[in-house]
Amino acid sequence: SWRYINVRRLFNFVEKSIERGTQWVVFEPNDRTLWARVRRDISAFLKVVWRTGALFGSTPTEAFYVKCDDELNPPEVRDLGQLIIEIGMSPVKPAEFVIFRISQWAGPGAE
């Protein structure tokens, strides 16, 4: 999926931006409320990326998705202090989504 340097650069930019933009999660309880905030914030950022033409699709839903839920963050992950976020993006004219995961250290507490 890294055949084109522009796609790799896009993913590097998005990954670093999201890692920096989600550092605040370390101060929050790792629960469904946090996951919803993370999905909202990352989706807002990716909508901007989509509007610039860097992502393929006529709607944001066609261009990307953000997953942060019980499946990715079961109690054993939360007990380790981690928050896992899965992001799928469709760079301009690909055959399929390219998916990556970001992990942040999250604050204490589960649901």
Is pLDDT of 4 > 90?
no
Kindly list the domain boundaries of the chain, sorted by start residue.
Answer: 5-105
Give residue-wise pLDDT tens across range 27-62. Answer: 999 999 999 999 999 999 999 999 999 999 999 999
Per-residue confidence (pLDDT) for residue 110, from 0 to 100? 46
Tell me how far apart the alpha carbons of residues 62 and 12 are, in angstroms, rounded to a whole number: 21
Buried b (16+ CB within 10 A) or exposed e, 29-48: ebeeebbeebbebbeebbee
Pick the CATH number of 5-105 from 3.30.160.60, 3.40.50.720, 3.30.470.20, 3.10.450.690: 3.10.450.690
**97 vs 61, higher pLDDT:** 61
pLDDT reported for residue 48: 98
